[in-house]
Amino acid sequence: MRRILLSLALFAGMAAGAEAAVVSGTVTCNGTGVASVAVSDGSKVVLTAKDGSYTLKTPLELGYVFISVPSGYEVPADGVIPRFFKRLDPSQKKSVADFELRKVDQSRCNIIFYNDIHLTGDPVYFDLKQVKNGFFADVNDHYKTISDVPVYAITLGDMTTDSRWYKRKFGLPEYLAQIEANFPVPVYHTMGNHDNNIKGGSDMEACRTFREVVGPYYYSLNIGGYHFVALDDIVYDMPLNEQGRVEKVTGYKTYVEARQLNWLKNDLKHVSETTPVVLLTHAPLYRIDGVVDGEYRIRDGFTGGHSAEEVLYFLRKYRTVHLLSGHTHMNYYIAHENGILEHNCVSVAGSSWYTEACCGFNMSADGTPGGYAVYTIDNGKLSWYYKAAGIDFEDCQFRAYDINAVPAKYVDGLPENSILVNVFNYDPDWKVSIRENGRELDVHQVWVRDPLYAMGVEGQTFSKKGAFKPHKNSHMFTAKAVSASSPVQITVTDRFGRVFSKTLERPGSFSLEMPLGSK
């Protein structure tokens, strides 16, 4: 932890040496000041006084101040963007930034999480047509079933594809136009690696476009008693030549740099240890590299010489911590020690909209249909579920295979008479039951590929890319049946007691015409 403290001290010293302006204002609701609202410039964090007023001395390095919207309140939206921030001119020595809140009952509310939507306006794979007919249509239909209470939306990054900003003239403004025209509620945004400007030169310059078009690239807000923190854990590496142009895009590293860690420390000073915290990042803090006897092989997901522990260091004192991320285009959960639960969410775009053309369906490399997650806060309790775009909720929780019907090259060594079940949103508190003629079979968690995805993308150029080739994953379960022809009853129960079941008739079939879900 010594490196963390030294980095924070160095950044704090640099920030303290910058020339400061004075920003003042009030946070009000129906004309009355709201006390104890956190206001920040991305470094310092101050609380409003009893009358809702605040004063902040700041160099305005990021060009804005923002509030941490308190629980029980909302902010107005400008189109699809919630206005929890104010852009300011750093050259002005004195600025005023007022914020208006409106009160709302959040004792029960729903939050839609989506990530890796990767809109590009592709003329070959028709991503805009696919997203409109799939994700947008599904979200709007599903919204009607959950909007009896307040509904919010948060994206976990990769709204665009950076390499297409200039080639196809499709970037963040075009993405926002699509969301504004097709999405039912405003959206809080988390920044992804593909939301950086490849002509930026440095990491700070690469994310400048995001700051100018979307808003703060790290911030916090409160919903229903939960404290949500969005961080940008992508650090671009783009050296410039003597003419100041990008000489080579060497890629990016995943970690959280000192500026954000310093702000995180200051933000959490005002958050009680009894408050549940939800950390939002694009890249996951940890990854799963295998399953051995039902135990996960887990590794640090950060790649920049920094560790995920540098972030968790600030969170371990909290009784309840959830980590939500995207980036991998797959679903997985890790139950860490001391109660920290990490959820890596599947992409909306599946394998970046490629599989529709070759397979007739939108699917990710772990076999999960493209989709999103809905989290519900109900009087302080958090629950969640996965929703595939275009598939009924009850039918999009798992897919089952009779391995006898699957060509050997797609079964990863599973024996004859095996049943394979892909439980898309599995976490360690789910239960998977497979019964043959009323007898419970021994079920084992295995590290194998999804056969349907493996067959569907075979020979496709895109499937040779690391993110899109068939991936072994942690939500695959197998049992060996006695007979080759007896049907089996599959029952999957999630951690909240929801039960999903299917009878798999055998001998089974295997083709691209198989349903994506469990129907």
H or E element: which one contains 203? helix 203-206
Above 70 in pLDDT, residue 509? yes
Tens of pLDDT, residue by residue over 377-434, are 999 999 999 999 999 999 999 999 999 999 999 999 999 999 999 999 999 999 999 9
Look at the pTM and tell me if it is higher than 0.75.
Answer: yes
Using an 8 Å Cβ cutoff, are 68 and 267 in contact?
A: yes
Greatest Cα pair distance in the chain: 80
pLDDT score at 20: 84
Q: Is the pLDDT of residue 142 over 70?
A: yes
* pLDDT value for 15: 52
Q: What is the pLDDT of residues 443-456, one digit of tens each?
A: 999 999 999 999 99
Q: Are 313 and 269 in contact (CB under 8 A)?
A: no
Q: Give the pLDDT band (50/70/90) at residue 304.
A: confident
Look-up of token digits 């995180």? 264
Burial category of 250 from C-beta neighbours within 10 Å (exposed 0-12, middle 13-18, buried 19 and up)? exposed
Helix H or strand E encompassing 222: strand 219-223
Encode pLDDT of 326-351 as tens digits: 999 999 999 998 889 999 999 999 99
Average of per-residue pLDDT values in the chain: 94
Q: Which residues contact 100 (CB under 8 A, 6 or more apart)?
A: 27, 28, 29, 75, 76
Domains of the chain (ranges, CATH numbers)? 2-102 (2.60.40.1120), 105-390 (3.60.21.10), 397-504 (2.60.40)
- How far, in Å, CA of 151 to CA of 374, rounded? 10
Q: Helices 258-268 and 2-16 sit at what angle, rounded to 10 degrees?
A: 90
Task: Give the tens place of pLDDT for each residue, 83-131.
Answer: 999 999 999 999 999 999 999 999 999 999 999 999 999 999 999 999 9
| Residue 304 C-beta-side C-alpha neighbours within 13 Å | 20
